[in-house]
Structure 1
């Protein structure tokens, strides 16, 4: 696991860095996400998310969010307005609920972050009526949130906690491959949906890995968190 002598501050700059890295990571992984969706869905998941996060970056570049909650709220609202299909409302509502959970605080901590992602998961479950095993983004997000909550309850160092979160998300996404879809367009395929990774679970991993990457960058160099592309989540970036 990744460790750091000093955990970064989970403030507005950090959350902006997370979303900035998520946007870059989605853009870099757009083709793979779209190909995953082409196998069992509409074939536009990566393209839609890339367009949505590009819109988010335009909003963040022209505003000055006061709090972490504002960053997440702007992200969610923009995704809802820019991303078609189910992923826009699902991700958009998730980010907005996460922001609401943070409240008006200028900075949060690991338990606060875990509570925010817990709220995001609850929003997705409610809006999508999805349960574990339905072959949706829930299958990646639910184990990730569980791992983060467990780490928070044990006062695990932040970077170790986020690393465990990403590991759990990756394992959850991979576990969707042998599942038969029960929700969304993929469910229309019945048994033919078996053997394919769910694109929503895959994009969830991308977004959560960007969160870990932002924390690694912030811990190693306070100026590098908001710059550069995604890393593999295990190595420190070289910095500016």
Structure 2
């Protein structure tokens, strides 16, 4: 089985293993798009210049959805801020469905999408106990300090769990406050070089702004958060 990309790992963590619904109380769209930006930066496909995402030609991206994201950025008339892509990518790429269907094709989740009142219900429950068990164990060790020196990839993913409100899904209640602080600390690191660090910082900031905005809108509507179109 091919290694999961950062955004695929975040998608898997975001789903309830039994129902297959988005279990992030603030919605997973913006964090997923942020993970896509970081995946592209790690692949040297984008950089940040003057606060905007600049796409670079790159022939061997590991997944079709990453190539589609890069193509969309390259085709735009001018470079855009990360916040633009956090809004646009989930919509134009149907990011949750795209990732779910791709992982279902690899036997990691099951595609149990349905339709209710004309709205697609995006359900992708686990097809088996792995790789979730390995992924969650790795992240929990990083968040609780059981692994005192997590690898850079784990730090990047753990740093996205805070804004996505997913830390509490991985650690026991007594450990959540400390785990949240560790997740936040991971967002302030620059583990993979200056170019990647620039994209990571911009993406994480945009994710936090987008998530805060969604919470404000949800509260104004009288809602209780929600699964971001699950």
Q: Same fold (TM over 0.5)?
A: no
TM-score (norm 2): 0.30
Higher relative contact order (CA 8 A, sep 6+): 2
TM-score (norm 1): 0.29
Pick the structure with more helix per residue.
1
